[in-house]
Amino acid sequence: MPMTSDTTSHLNLTLMVAEGQGDLPRTRRAPRIDKIGSGGIHIGRWRTLVAVALAVGLAVVLAGCQQGEKAAGNVRAGPAGAGAVRVLMQDNTFQPQALEVRAGSPVTVEVRNAGDKSHNFTIDSLNVSTGAMHHGDVKTVTFTAPKGSMEFSCTWHRGMVGRIVAT
């Protein structure tokens, strides 16, 4: 996502300040974890702690803006009308796993979570996602696909994927 590089540089800046090093080239190094356990270097331990805390913070930030976490594209709650493509979410598969749609014109997909876990329906290449769907939720997604084949997935469950073929 575009946000990632900004977030990273911001955290690098924070790390730089925390380490008390003003010279830019040195901030590109990994945190000085080699000082763990060497006696009498309290500042080194503090730096390590700060670096670890920032790394954990960065991981949380990156996980938070992972595709699938938030709805994207043309998505609304509720079922679609007649003629929509219907997709069921189960734990942890989509049914069906192959969708054939018309290329170049709007396609409506109704997604229903028939599983017990929360899932999302995300088409990464089209920047489309239902966002979180809990047990029983129904959402309607409308998108226009270019000719070709593209993957859809639940970004939370490895292997929970399917394919859209637009012709």
* Greatest alpha-carbon span in the chain: 73
Under rule CB under 5 A, residue 133 binds Cu ion: no
Q: Which stretch binds Cu ion (CB under 5 A): 12-20, 42-50, 113-121, 143-151?
A: 113-121
Q: How far apart are CA 62 and CA 108, in angstroms?
A: 30
Of 103, 114, 156, 165, the residue at the interface with Cu ion (CB under 5 A) is 156
DSSP code at position 157: S
Strand duo 161-166 + 74-77: pairing = unpaired
HEC profile for 68-137?
A: CCCCECEEEECCCCCCCEEEEECCCCEECCEEEECCCCEEEEEEEECCCCCECCEEHHHCEECCCECCCC
112 belongs to the binding site for Cu ion (CB under 5 A): no
Partners of residue 123 on adjacent β-strands: 128
- For Cu ion, the closer CB: 121 or 143: 121
Residue 15 binds Cu ion, judged by CB under 5 A? no
* Residue 136 beta carbon to Cu ion: minimum distance, rounded to whole angstroms: 15
- Pick 154 or 166: Cβ nearer Cu ion: 154
Element (H, E) at 23: none
Does 164 help bind Cu ion (rule: CB under 5 A)?
A: no
Binding of Cu ion by 163 (CB under 5 A): no
Stretch that binds Cu ion, among 28-36, 54-62, 126-134, 149-157 (CB under 5 A): 149-157
CB of 95 to Cu ion, least distance (A): 13
Is residue 154 near Cu ion by the rule CB under 5 A? Answer: yes
Provide the binding-site residues for Cu ion, judged by CB under 5 A: 119, 154, 156-157, 160
